[in-house]
A and B are shown apart, each in its own frame.
Chain A
Amino acid sequence: MDATALENEARTAIAAAGDGAALEELRVHYLGRKSELKLALRGVRDRETGMALNAARSAIEEAFFTREEELAAADVDLEPFDPTLPGEPVPRGSLHLITQLRRRIEDVFLGMGYLVYDGREVETVWHNFDALNQPEAHPSRDPRDTFYFDANTLLRTHTSPSQIRAMQAQQPPIYLVSLGRTYRRDPLDATHTPVFHQVEGLAVDRGITLADLRGTIELFTSAIFGRREVRMRTSFFPFTEPSVEFDITCYLCDGQGCPVCKHSGWIEMGGAGVVDPNVFEAVGYDPEEWQGFAFGLGIDRIAFLRHGLPDLRLFWENDLRMTRQF
């Protein structure tokens, strides 16, 4: 057969095709499995003919491509096409909102050189209270507030026992965060759950100060919420001295004032302070040599407020109509 003639004929026909259907018809005619060209290619016995036929095929394919582009440029639909139809469904799961926040916090602190320490959830009274210098009469020890298994074991009421375990396991310097479930016998309602989540931070080194605490919290909260200011108020925690509670510029209104921050522009974040020498003594660190700061804050409320949830129980109901939004 005459490859050149075939090529020319095809080129002319392709150039004249006015829409996708016509092109498709020509494609079957010239390049289909039973086309003259394909049959000829199958029967090729010598190299020269083969090359000529292949050259013609390339040229014809090129012509199709060119014509498709021309038609597309002229806005002619090559086949019926409605881009607003839905895509083929691909199931998408989601991470829990608290896991999402937890990972961000972990990553921020990893970037600052803090390791992520996994504590225990069932703890001894010694780790949860005694080693943290908690007075015998402190209300948090009350069985009305704390879940006990017996006189010596309980569900941790805060992530602070992680500090104790980490310090017992290694010598300073130590920089860590510990995140996880904590437990208090709170009522179950829109703003309380008996299980909630905290982030604990601990830095022990030479010369650590309250000022370092402030700077660290500023850096951390700015990384999560955008540029924040931190203010500290005197408070009391048995395991820190001095103790402070810290607020940051409200992450809902950027300090402009809103109902959540009671129009103060500040939102309470958590408790912190300089590690009490009694805590160092409990774990065998020399308080004259080492200084440290510790902080703790709840993260459920942050996720709850930032996403505008009406009820904390939604975190535990796992309603896919909610989780699929995130």
Chain B
Amino acid sequence: MKVPVSWLREYVDFDWPVEQLAAKLVFTSCEVDRIVRRGVVDTDGNLANFLVGHVVEAGKHPNADRLQLCLVDVGEGEPRQIVCGAWNFGAGATVAVALPGALLPGAEQPLGEAKLRGETSRGMILSERELELGDDHTGIMVLENGIEPGTPLVDVLPLTESVLEIETGFNRPDLTAIYGIAREVSALTGAALAPPPGREPERAADEPVDVRVEDLGACPRYLGRIFHGARIGPSPAWMRARLLAAGMRSISNVVDITNYVMLALGSPLHAFDRSLLAEGRIVVRRAQPGEKIRTLDGHERELAPTDLVIADAKRPVAIAGIMGGEDSEVRDETTDLLLEAANFDALTVLRTSRRLRLRTDASTRWEKGVDPYAAEQAAIYASELLVAHAGASWTGHTDVHGDLPVPPVVRHRPELVERLSGMSIPVEEQVERLQRLGFEVDGDQVTVPNWRANDVTRPVDLVEEVVRFRIEEVPSTLPERAAPSVQLTREQRLRRRVEDVLVGAGFAEAYTWTLVPGEEGRLALEEPYTTELAALRTDLRLGLLESAERNRNAAVERIALFELARVFRPTGEELPEERWHVAGITDGGFFRAKGAAEALHDALAVPLVVLERGPGRSAHTAYGELSELPGGWGYFELDLDALLADVPDVVAYQDVITYPAVKQDLAFVVDEAVAAGDLIAAAREAAGPELRDLRVFDVYRGEQVGEGKKSIALAAAFQSPERTLSDEDAAKLRERIVAELVERFGAELRA
């Protein structure tokens, strides 16, 4: 929200510099994004160069058709001659004048006396735009008559303005109004708060206002007021200047007034051209199936039965709390108005706003929950302004509402402040702060003001109201507790180990998206992020493969990536199963990936066992898969939860040092179809525990072994933890192995 400081000061006359106020609000109330300076620079007496002038004479410049030559009284006795390019005024007009020496907004050099086509111009008659008070540059700014010439212009117009740009929290709808911010500033600075703006004007008649509210839950209150004889035109310069500074466009006096009051008091308003309402009636109801409305932004919108609309006798004329309809809009020829000052339920507005993807200044206020009592003051203030600035006469009033909320009463527990914040604040200060915020304090009973009724309902909420003004002073302590003993869980510790082993093996850790394209068996998002990111992954392959290929396309060498992350499997229950997986990809092919997986298993003291071959160059292991993906990528992926469950807590020492090992090499010729792993498993079975180690060190195919055959060379180590094995012991073990392999695989011993 943009807060013009001159407007704020109208309600609370604080004497802090704006910078100090902003710096403090950041701690106590809301974010302040920045302070923007607008308009005339207020240094070195510059403001004194801007005066109200009275045009005494105006006529064509003798040497220029497009210029006017004017004599302007600026209260100096003798009028000044000023040359002006605009023609939207004549003698008798009251105007804004800058004298030579004035520094105009955005200018680098002060204004000088100038000779224009032979005539001296001793000043300048100003347009809104030149003063940064508006967008209008079609002519100069004509002020209302009756202001004494020579009056400092700054007394008449907000010539210089600072604008606080603030962000208000979800819980503070009261801070979406200038008056609400003024209340906050009053509590912060101690400066007095003026009564809320708006004095009821005189009502010219008492005609009935036909307002029916069918859904008091969604629309707890609807004040309707009728005005006749409005004259649509521009709003006063000061109002336009403030709206502009607050970031709103000026439309017309009537629309500007509704916006101005919304900004001042936080309760959005809407004005209808009453002559365009069928039967002059207002019905607040849910939309009917198939109903449509063309909103003020020119879009035709289909309504749903969950949408709350403002209708006349026939059709919707506004989407409640969001935007008015085009065909009941106030236009230049409008004279009769129906002013709506209502209250709408936050969720109802929110749902429709979300459904239509339409957010407005009004809807963002309703979403936060606006005080239903604020509607009344908003109606009063808008009426006052309509009478004063649109020449309207007020002729009818109605206030339809159900039971309005009763202000909550909360117990004040002053001791909670210290108990929760660790900082003590005297009770008197607590009470004063609450009172300045509009709370009524009666002993320990605190009545919460309506504008905070949603947010403050419990004693702890009052604590925040008090503590936040001293939040910077909260001391720094640590919880008092006995020395605790904590450590990572077993799984957390082992996951770190897995990461470290893979890093040591040359793999770089990758992070890839949790979301992948939708597919059978994957839990899909209701609304995909993109078609590529639409469902939860059930394995890690896609992301790693993409990352690996991106590296290859960038000509990176020695690619090795791993990821340790969760995968998600639908279970039919409310939530999917989440399991940790680890996967690695390498440009070194199947056996490089398998080597890394072996290192990983080895580090965890769990054997890697190939259970069966998979399709192509792939295999299933006890905990996952090993494969070679197209492009020569070696890949492994393991169910880490399953693997870690099998990691022994303690690895027992095996004595392989006291007694020496007998090492021997064996080579067998077998059919191509025989797997080395099967040979080793059979050999181990045959030899028993004294075969300490048996591994493949060579596989040979060629003429010497014959077609369809291969020679597998094995290195065996025989060893006992109890004695030194003799050559005869070793020979016996060897014979058992040979006999077994010959029998089971038709193996032929080569050496």
Binding site for B on A (CB under 8 A): 90-96, 98-99, 103, 106, 110, 113-116, 118, 120-124, 135-139, 142-144, 147-150, 152-153, 155, 173, 175, 181, 183, 185, 194-195, 203, 205, 207-212, 214-216, 218-219, 230-236, 241-244, 274, 276-277, 291, 315-321, 323-324
Contact = CB atoms under 8 A, between A and B. Distances in A.
Given A93-B509, A205-B481, A209-B420, A106 B525 contact: no
Interface in B12-49: 26-29, 31
Nearest to A322: B508
27 contacts: A93-B502, A93-B504, A93-B508, A94-B503, A96-B510, A110-B487, A115-B489, A122-B576, A137-B347, A150-B526, A152-B574, A155-B514, A175-B486, A209-B477, A212-B479, A215-B475, A218-B476, A230-B476, A231-B27, A233-B26, A234-B471, A242-B463, A277-B460, A291-B420, A318-B512, A318-B551, A319-B551
B172 interface: yes
A118 B507 CA distance: 25
Contacts of B472: 231-232
A148 B508 contact: no
Contacts of A315: 511
Contact of B476 (A95, A116, A215): A215
Give the residue among A90, A207, A219, A276 with the most B Cβ atoms within 10 A.
A207
Contacts of B526: 143, 148-150
Given A242-B464, A318-B547, A320-B508, A214 B560 contact: no
Contacts of A185: 529
A118 B492 contact: yes
B422 A210 contact: yes
Contact of A116 (B172, B463, B489, B559): B489
A237 to B, nearest CB: 9
A153 B526 CA distance: 10
Contacts of B481: 113, 173, 175, 205
A142 B560 CA distance: 40
B369 interface: yes
Nearest to B169: A236
B528 to A, nearest CB: 9
A95 B346 contact: no
Contacts of B467: 210, 242
Given A148-B525, A181-B566, A323-B508, 11 more contacts: A91-B558, A122-B536, A122-B575, A143-B526, A147-B527, A183-B514, A209-B477, A216-B479, A218-B476, A232-B27, A243-B464
A124 B551 contact: no
Nearest to A181: B514
A207 B547 CA distance: 49
Contacts of B477: 209, 211-212, 214-215
A320 B551 CA distance: 7
A257 to B, nearest CB: 15
Contacts of A215: 475-478
Contact of A318 (B347, B486, B510): B510
Contacts of A99: 499, 509
Given A93-B509, A153-B575, A116 B488 contact: yes
Contacts of B561: 318, 320
Nearest to B502: A93
B701 interface: no
| Secondary structure class of chain A's binding surface, majority of residues | mixed
A316 B512 contact: yes
Enumerate the 9 nearest inter-chain pairs by beta-carbon distance, A residue then B residue, closest first: A91-B506, A211-B422, A113-B484, A209-B422, A236-B169, A242-B464, A318-B547, A318-B510, A93-B503
B344 to A, nearest CB: 12
Interface residues of B, number: 89
Contacts of B419: 207, 209, 291
B551 A211 contact: no
Contacts of A120: 575, 578
Contacts of B420: 209-210, 242, 274, 291
A124 B464 contact: no
Interface string B412-428: 00000001111100000
A241 B460 CA distance: 7
B550 A317 contact: yes
A56 B480 CA distance: 73
A291 B368 CA distance: 28
Contacts of B674: none
Contacts of B657: none
Nearest to A115: B486
Contacts of A316: 511-513
A113 B486 CA distance: 6
A39 B532 CA distance: 76
Give the residue among A103, A215, A242, A276 with the most B Cβ atoms within 10 A.
A242
A209 B525 CA distance: 40
B170 interface: yes
A96 B471 contact: no
A150 B578 CA distance: 18
A155 B578 CA distance: 12
A318 B550 contact: yes
A236 B502 contact: no
A149 B523 contact: yes
Contacts of A276: 460
A203 B484 CA distance: 13
A122 B575 CA distance: 7
A316 to B, nearest CB: 6
A288 to B, nearest CB: 10
B230 interface: no
Contacts of B559: 320
Contacts of B578: 120-122
B483 A211 contact: no
Contacts of A96: 509-511
Contacts of B422: 209-212
B387 interface: no
B170 A138 contact: yes
A172 to B, nearest CB: 11
Contact of B483 (A113, A149, A324): A113
B354 interface: yes
Contact of A93 (B421, B506, B525): B506
A147 B464 CA distance: 32
Nearest to B556: A320
B204 interface: no
A110 B486 CA distance: 6
B575 A123 contact: yes
Contacts of B354: 142-144
Contacts of B171: 236
B524 A149 contact: yes
A288 B511 CA distance: 43
Give the residue among B172, B475, B511, B536 with the most A Cβ atoms within 10 A.
B511
Contacts of A321: 554, 556
Nearest to A100: B509
Contacts of B513: 195, 316
A137 B367 contact: yes
Contacts of A123: 575
Given A110-B486, A113-B481, A135 B502 contact: no
Nearest to A95: B509
B662 interface: no
Contact of B505 (A91, A194, A274): A91
B668 interface: no
B191 to A, nearest CB: 20
B300 interface: no
Given A95-B499, A124-B575, A138-B170, A210 B479 contact: no
Nearest to A123: B575
Contacts of B491: 118
Given A121-B578, A122-B568, A149-B526, A208 B507 contact: no
B480 A210 contact: no
A47 B419 CA distance: 90
Contacts of B471: 232-234, 242, 244
A143 B506 CA distance: 41
Contacts of A318: 508, 510-512, 547, 550-551, 561
